[in-house]
Amino acid sequence: QVQLQESGPGLVKPSQTLSLTCTVSGGSISSGDYYWSWVRQPPGKGLEWIGYIYRSGTSFYNPSLESRVIMSVDMSKNQFSLSLSSVTAADTAVYYCARRDGQLLVHGDWGQGTLVTVSS
């Protein structure tokens, strides 16, 4: 059973860059037809898809965030990462990493989520 775990700073200052890493265990990030996703959820609100990246490095981002998002994959560490620049208070959210099955088109496995607060 694959497991995902987010890590990164819980507090980021406005205008700075939010950086998170998702470590995958119980399976290789370089095998299978999977897309590695980031989804966020502001406190008390709904879910927003940020984007996903394939093992090849091909990525797809939500146009609403595309100008500020970069995702990457590090197969040697079995990790993938999210970078979100120029953050504001509106970026305060629980950030989840998830594995999207490329055949079933579902996010079947999720990390536990990590709260990132944007505040000075």
Contact yes or no for 14/120 (Cβ under 8 A) = yes
111 belongs to the binding site for other proteins (CB under 8 A): yes
Nearest to other proteins of 44, 76 (CB atom): 44
Neighbours of 1 (CB within 10 A): 6
Among 2, 8, 23, 60, binds other proteins (CB under 8 A): 60
Site for other proteins in 90-109 (CB under 8 A): 96, 98, 104-108
- The answer to the question of residue 36 lying near other proteins (CB under 8 A) is no
CA dist., res. 38 & res. 73, Å (int): 12
Cα–Cα distance, 65 to 60 (Å, whole number)? 11
Q: Residue numbers of the site for other proteins (CB under 8 A)? A: 39, 46-49, 60, 62-64, 96, 98, 104-108, 110-113
